[in-house]
């Protein structure tokens, strides 16, 4: 059975989106801008040979889905499990009021953490469970087909976790199934819209920053995870221990270099560790640019996990293994560099690289544990994840864990990581 391509469309703009108010389960219709956005997304999807259009029953999603289904000439199906997250005390409140009156709730929301009990909201775990349940059933109903799903920003935030918010009338592509699994392929595609749309949780200052830099092109960062090392093959935690690439890793580096070659890369940056540096040197030689080292790209120090095997950790330290597998902060006793610190130094490097190469395309060779802290997802050896960075201190993921450039024999680890 083949994977189902799910094009997850966030509904068009509403007056409450424009006023910067939380909607949740309150049923607000599209405004004029939202209807125009819905028509734009319908035109874009008309050529996609959609097998079905599924939608949340809430008005703003349903109205968007009607435009898509009419343009595609296929029936519209309602799915209760796609409804927006119940946001408890946030619903009906302006963002600025939540920030002032419920600072802990606002801080959790802005950092994509679980909302505290005082928010009285539907749990993130519950949201993910019901949305995944719907997606898996839709995939079973349409194996190997392309399906449009119209839903909400809050549910997608919960599903994608720290990957970020998406704009009104944006498209996020998921490959779902076979079985109980899915992977993110592309996020927050707005190319079909005449201007960037509003994102859930953006304050007015965020929107004004966007307007200020409306004509400034962000920097495209190709995050290339280094090729397989001898300890990757042995399934051992490396951290800052300097392990070289193995033969498969050298091959992956060459395939990445060929994939990057045609993308007008102006610079290649890497950490100083051999497995990243040698991968980056291969890419730099292929595209004809110099290699630059930035110590902020160094792999995360994993404390007493370094040198331990995955199997040993799973058996002897189940709590540590559970935190690692679920992308939660590692227990203090591991002595690992905190994930927030890792993400902060990586972002610092990315923002500096974007300033050095505004509007250009840059390859950055990254380590696996670093990628987990930054993206809150696994990225396999030899994979390429595309980010747009800047202008200013902002970034978004455009495409995750691309592995089409790798032959199947070299893509197994990357494919497994993309489904974690």
- Both tokens assigned to 225: 């995870």
Cα distances (angstroms) measured from residue 35 to each of 7, 92, 214, 337: 19, 22, 23, 47
Cα distances (angstroms) measured from residue 324 to each of 224, 232, 238, 305, 318: 21, 16, 14, 11, 10
Q: How far apart are CA 13 and CA 365, in angstroms?
A: 37
CB atoms near residue 420 (< 10 Å): 14
What is the rounded radius of gyration, in angstroms, for the C-alpha atoms of the chain?
Answer: 21
CB atoms near residue 74 (< 10 Å): 14
Catalytic residue among 3, 11, 142, 202: 11
CB 245 within 8 A of CB 267: no
For residue 402, what is the DSSP state? Answer: E
Cα distances (angstroms) measured from residue 183 to each of 24, 81, 158, 405, 411: 25, 19, 14, 17, 15
402 included as an active-site residue: no
Residue 336's nearest CA partner among 386, 370, 383 is 370
Catalytic residue among 3, 44, 67, 84: 84
CB 149 within 8 A of CB 135: yes
192 included as an active-site residue: no
Phi, psi dihedral angles at 208 (to 5 degrees): -65, -35
- The catalytic site residues sit at 11, 84
């Amino acid at each position: 059975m083949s994977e189902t391509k799910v094009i997850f469309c966030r509904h068009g703009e509403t007056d409450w989106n424009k006023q910067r108010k939380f909607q949740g389960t309150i049923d607000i219709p599209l405004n004029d801008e939202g209807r125009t956005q819905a028509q734009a997304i319908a035109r874009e999807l008309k050529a996609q040979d959609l097998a079905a259009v599924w939608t949340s029953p809430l008005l703003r999603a349903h109205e968007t889905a009607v435009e898509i289904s009419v343009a595609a000439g296929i029936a519209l199906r309602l799915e209760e499990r796609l409804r927006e997250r119940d946001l408890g005390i946030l619903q009906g409140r302006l963002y600025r009021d939540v920030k002032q009156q419920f600072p802990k709730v606002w801080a959790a929301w802005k950092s994509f953490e679980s909302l505290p009990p005082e928010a009285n909201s539907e749990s993130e775990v519950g949201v993910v469970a019901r949305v995944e349940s719907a997606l898996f059933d839709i995939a079973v109903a349409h194996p190997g087909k392309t399906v449009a799903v119209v839903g909400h920003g809050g549910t997608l935030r919960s599903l994608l976790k720290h990957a970020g918010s998406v704009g009104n009338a944006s498209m996020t592509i998921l490959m779902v199934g076979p079985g109980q699994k899915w992977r993110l392929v592309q996020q927050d595609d707005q190319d079909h819209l005449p201007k960037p749309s509003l994102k859930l949780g953006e304050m007015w200052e965020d929107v004004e920053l966007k307007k200020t830099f409306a004509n400034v092109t962000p920097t495209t960062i190709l995050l290339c995870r280094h090729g397989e090392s001898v300890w990757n093959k042995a399934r051992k935690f490396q951290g800052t221990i300097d392990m070289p690439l193995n033969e498969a890793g050298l091959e992956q580096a060459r395939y990445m270099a060929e994939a990057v070659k045609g993308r007008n890369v102006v610079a290649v940056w890497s950490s100083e560790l051999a497995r990243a540096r040698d991968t980056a040197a291969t890419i730099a030689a292929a595209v004809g640019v110099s290699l630059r080292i930035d110590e902020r790209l160094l792999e995360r120090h994993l404390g007493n996990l370094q040198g331990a095997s995955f199997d040993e950790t799973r058996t002897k330290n189940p709590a540590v293994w559970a935190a690692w597998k679920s992308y939660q902060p590692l227990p203090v006793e591991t002595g690992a560099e905190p994930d927030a610190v890792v993400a902060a130094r990586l972002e610092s490097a990315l923002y500096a690289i974007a300033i050095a190469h505004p509007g250009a395309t840059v390859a950055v060779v990254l380590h696996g544990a670093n990628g987990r802290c930054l993206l809150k997802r696994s990225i396999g050896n030899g994979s390429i994840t595309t980010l747009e960075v800047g202008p200013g201190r902002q970034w978004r993921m455009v495409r995750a864990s691309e592995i089409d450039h790798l032959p199947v024999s070299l893509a197994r680890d990357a494919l497994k990581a993309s489904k974690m």
